[in-house]
Each structure stands twice: as structure tokens, then as C-alpha cells.
Amino acid sequence: MLEVSEIKEIEDILANYIVKKDVVKPNRPAFYIDANNIRDVIALLKQRLGDEAIYISNIVGVDKVSDGVIEVNYFIHLIPFSNTIVIKTSIPRDNPKIPSIIDLLPGAYSGECETYDLLGVEFMGNKYLRRGFFVPTDVTSKNIFPLRKDVKV
Amino acid sequence: MESEAAEKATSLIKIPITLEIPIGPQHPAIHEPVLLKVYADGEEVVGVDIGTGYNHRGVEKLLENNTFYKDKFITSRICGICNTVHENCFVRAVEYISGMEPSARARYLRVLVMELERIHSHMLINAIMAEIIGFDTLFMYIMRDRELVMKAKEIVSGGRVLAEFHMFGGVRRDIDDVKKEKILDILKKLEPRLKYYRRLFEEDPTITKRLMEIGILRPRDVVSHGMVGPILRGSGVKSDVRAEDRYDAYNEVPFNVIVKGEGDSLARMLVRWDEALESLEMCRYILEHLPSGSAVVDERKLPRVFPAGESFARVEAPRGELTYYIQHIKGDKPYRVKVRTPSFNNIINSGFSYLRHSIADVPVILVSYDPCISCMERAIVVDLKNGTEKKVTFRDIAMGKVRLR
Amino acid sequence: MSIIRDVIRNLLSKPITIEYPRKLTPIEKDFRGRHYADLKKCTGCSLCAIECPSNCISMEKLPENIKLRHNPRGLYPNINYMSCVFCYRCVKVCPVNAYITTNEYRLSSVKEVYSKELTIQTVG
């Protein structure tokens, strides 16, 4: 598990961008940041912790109809600290665009393609996005995104 | 005109004409439905495109429409060979939300079943590797010894492949002394066979000539592309979820993390054999040091509605790191469940590693990544009543009209 | 070392294949096999039908000549073995433990098989 000093170290690195702090069970620290700063945050982490130290574990999109936003969560695993931190951003539901991080961490390719195909979040700068990645063609021809809450598939 | 221009030319641009070879979804070389479009110049590979989407099942939408208890049985059927670890991850994620703690004996029994599954999954992928390089005799021998492990799993949990063993707060069956002796007997018969196969993989020239120096991955490439599991450990990076998170009983059972430095296909297969031997030792330790107490949960007294919260659970599947993220707001059905299997990262992000190898090496590299496409995509529904393969629309799956098999 | 020694030894001994329809496979006593309800204990509460993950249990009315005091609604569960996945959720969630379990695994057939006959036979 993370020691108090290690959490403090990560917080110092990202001090300029954190809006709110939280904890995802079981004791994984979560940081809320603004959606446009995601590229600076990842570049800063890579620069301070080294090239062989971090990998993207997961990119999750959650559709929150009542708040009118789509939450995009990045789960980043830090190998020297043996724990995973969560970076949470939220983007408006009627214009879901967020900058892509595929040139910094090429491991984000699979996560970004899947989130685009199933939820409709567009990652600007990623030229490999396409609709037939996972979803079969009878659903894509109706031009709907299957995982949104207001869609009856 | 043109001949004069051709004579005056001083340099020549050579354009390689590439041939597109689909190692397609139905192919005798690989056992999984994934499309690898290989662009080859002569015998050398210059580009690879990976095409997916032949087997998508819409599991995440299905999990949002059923209660937590039915979801536990659905997650067990995402993958046939790693079904115990999927169940374990889902059950632990829900336990973190609701605050339930399993007893010590239940935690030891969970680890026992998961380690037995790790042994038989590693034996299966090594048998497949032997089969595609043409060594059919070894394939048959490994499969014969794998039957012993399936018998042990049947003694513990009641089913040879699908062990519906976990429940929120503990397990569903218990073992007594008679069963313990039978399992220890089986492990004693299995151990010399595993050591024999490991020695064979290291020394036999048929295997080493085709596997050495093929598909070398540097540590920096592996980490930045997000690959997990024995691929990471075969390239020298020491990272194992069992040693980092120490969930269930892993903080009390001793084990070593196996790391090899070369990074080629042979190192990845040897990491798997060493892990299988480590799992055998762990199973023995667990059977001899089982704590006393009650492990079985009474399913009639469990709550129907769970409190709100979010949690993120990770587990070490035989293929890598498997994660579940659950967000729950109210009611008895979860709001969002996200499953990320290890084959998702390993196969889709791996297009860079086939370059500059010859075509005969492509199946060898692909099998050394351990593809499990049903884990990766999670969809085709076959209607068995009429014997026809009907394309079921997403509406039927989401409404729960389709019967699970 | 090579595998030749093993191969020659195995060539000269008998094969380990079990000829299944003529000889039975060895199986454990508590393997999850065919299960059916016992009418002497069932109260007709329908919990097993609600909780089944594959929705294969349907509740039927008792036939005319059987009247049971502990079953006021007069219903009993009927399992469709062709869609059952043998997860045993119905066995564990029943409040009066009314299910009888066996290890019978030879259940393939060309038409639908239900548990109705076995259940009615328990009351005689």
C-alpha cells in the first residue's frame, strides 16, 4: 500500500493541477483535474518518474445523465510505488472531446478506441479511431453509441 | 524523351512492393478469431494491422441490467479458462463497496482454487505452443497430465472447468480431510511431470531452435505500450499484482516473483513453467496450513441492496493483470461495471513487435502472448434450440430475453 | 536428453483412453449433476425461480389429487434441464432445503427434458 510520504510526493508533482482529492476503495488516491490539462499531467509524471515506471492500466468512461457530463477516468499504475492512482476528468455530454495522449503513452490506443466506439467520446489527435472496432455493423449503421444510458439497444 | 531522361538519371528509388497476407479469423495456425493483416516484403514482415470485432458480446451492457447476484454468474462465463479469477475480482470489488470481510479459512480456499487454475492454464498454452511448431507428441503428453489438475479442481469445487466457488463474504463449499489427502496425492504425481517438461523446454533442440531470439521486447517498449503479465516478467520488469496488492491470503503464503531478462519467446514460456511449479508449492502449503473455522456463507441471509460507492479491484490472472471498476449509485443493479482483461492490452497494442521477423515466426510470437479472444471482446450468441446461428440483436440481450449457456 | 525414451515406453504399454460409453468415467460423489425438488418439503415460495441466472425454472400448479398442507399456493418448481447451467443457486437459496442433488451427468438428449416426473414421484 502507499505510504503517507509517497502520496505526498505524488501530490507535490501534480500540485498545480489538482482541483479536488478523493479515495477510491481500497485506498487508491484519486485526483480531479481539468480535462484540458491531461497532456501536461501525463508528461509531468513521465518526466519525474522515468520512462520505465508508469503504464496506463485502464481508460473508463461513465455516462452520467443526471449531471449532464461524461466522466473519463484514467487509471495509471506506478511500478516503483506498487500502486494505482486515478485521474478523473469530466467533459460535457453534448460535446464530448478530450485531447489524446497516444503519442506520450502508446498503450492508450486500445482504451481510447474502445471508449470512442462504445460511448462516443472523441479523442482529438488520435487518427486510428473508427466505428467498427468492437461494435457489430448492424448497430453502427444506426449511428448510436451502445453504452449510453438513454439508448435502448 | 523518356529514354533520355532514364539515361541521365543518377539515383534510383527502390519501392518495395508489399504483399498483404491475412492471417485471418479462421486459420490452422492460430486457435483464436483475430485478424492479423500482415504486410510482407518477400519473407520479411514490414507492417501489421490488427482487426478485432468478431466476437463482441455486449457484456458490460448486460451486467447493468441484472442484479448483483446474477451478475456474479455472468462474469464467470466471460472466459472459460480464467473463470475463477473473473469471479474473484467481481466478488472482491463488491466486498470493498459494502464492507464485508471473508473469514481466514475462506481466503485460503479461494487462493487454492485460483492457483490450481493457474497451473492448468499454463499447461494449456505450452501445449498449444508445442502443437503449432509441429511437436504433436509433446502436445498429447501435456494434455494427458493436465487431466490430473482438472480432477483436483473437481474434488474441491464440484466442476471440472467452471468452478462456481466464490460468494460475497466467503465461499460456497468446504473441504474435509479425505478430500485433502486425495488432492495431496494428485500433487505428488504431478510434480515430476512438470519438472520434466520444464527441462525439455530448455534443452530440446526442436523447441529452442524455433523459440530462441524470436520476438525480443525491450523493457521500455513493454511498459510504455501497457503490456502486462508474463510478457512484462519475461523482459526483466518485476511487477506482479499478487506481491503488490497482497489481497486474500497472499500476505501469509510465501512465494517468489519469477523474472527473466532475455525478453524473447523462450523466456516467456519458461516464466510460465516456473510459475506453475511455484503454484504447486503454494497449493501444498495451503493444504497443510489451513486455518480452522467456517468458510461457507449462508446465501439466504445476504443483503439484496448494496450501498453506494466505487471501487477498483485487480487480480493476477494467468495471462496478466485483470481489473474491474464498479460504480454504484442506488438499487440492486450496478450503475457501471468496466472489465479490462489482460488480452485487451496484450494483443491490440502489440502490432509493433512483429516487424522484421519472417512470416513463419508470426504464429510463434502471437501464441507466446497468450491470446484469449473471448476475454478480450466479450459476443456471439448461438441459438441452440433450433440448431441455427441467429444474429441476436442487442435489444434481446439487454432485456434479458436470451438464455445464458 | 530427449523424449525418445518416454515415447518407446508408452508405445509398449496400453493406452490410457477410457472408452466412454462402454466403461464409465470415475466421478466424484458431489459433482454438480441433475437436481430436482422434493414435494414433501417445498412450500411454493418461488424464490428459486426468481433467483435463477438463466431463468429456466417455471412454477407449475400441483395436479388435482395432491393436496399438501405446507404448500398453500399449490405451486412447485419445474426445471428445464436444457437451459440449466448447474450453478446450484436454487439449491443454496431455498429456505427449507427442498432440493435433492445427485451426480448424474449423462443428460444429453434430442428433445427437452424437465424435472416434472422426478418431482411428482417423491410424493408417490
Query: Pick from B405, B391, B348: which is nearest to B372 by CA?
Result: B348
Report all structural domains of chain A as residue ranges with CATH numbers, in order of start: 4-140 (3.30.460.80)
The radius of gyration computed from the CA coordinates of chain B, to the nearest angstrom, equals: 24
CA–CA separation, B402 vs B392, rounded Å?
A: 8
Q: Please list the rounded mean pLDDT of every run of 10 residues in chain B (405 residues).
A: 54 63 65 71 75 67 88 88 91 91 92 93 91 88 91 89 90 91 94 92 87 86 87 89 87 90 90 93 93 88 89 90 90 88 82 81 83 59 35 37 38
Q: Tell whether C81 is within 8 A of chain B (Cβ).
A: no
Of B226, B311, B321, the CB nearest to A26: B311
Q: How many CB pairs under 8 A join A and B?
A: 110
- The phi, psi pair for B246, rounded to 5°, reads 55, 50
CA–CA separation, B226 vs A112, rounded Å?
A: 13
Angstrom CA distances, A143 to A140, A148, A149, B96, stand at: 5, 12, 15, 37
> What residues of chain B lie within 8 A of the CB of C56, using their CB?
403
Angstrom CA distances, B144 to B83, B187, B337, C15, stand at: 22, 15, 38, 11
CA–CA separation, B19 vs B51, rounded Å?
A: 17
Q: Within 10 A of B259 (CB to CB), how many other CB atoms are there?
A: 17
Report all structural domains of chain C as residue ranges with CATH numbers, in order of start: 27-124 (3.30.70.3270)
Note the pLDDT of residue A152: 67
Of C6, C16, C30, the CB nearest to B158: C30
Class of domain B79-340: mainly alpha
* Complex-level ipTM beyond the 0.85 threshold: yes
Percent of chain A with pLDDT over 90: 0
Q: Tell whether C104 is within 8 A of chain B (Cβ).
A: no
Low-confidence ranges of chain A (pLDDT < 70): 1-5, 132-133, 151-153
Q: Do chains C and A touch (3 or more CB pairs under 8 A)?
A: no
Q: Yes or no: say if B39 and B22 are a contact pair by the CB < 8 Å rule.
A: no
Of B225, B228, B325, the CB nearest to A106: B225
Map out the domains of chain B as residue ranges: 79-340
> What residues of chain A lie within 8 A of the CB of B393, using their CB?
138, 153
Q: Yes or no: say if A69 and A88 are a contact pair by the CB < 8 Å rule.
A: no
pTM assigned to the model? 0.86
Q: Tell whether C6 is within 8 A of chain B (Cβ).
A: yes
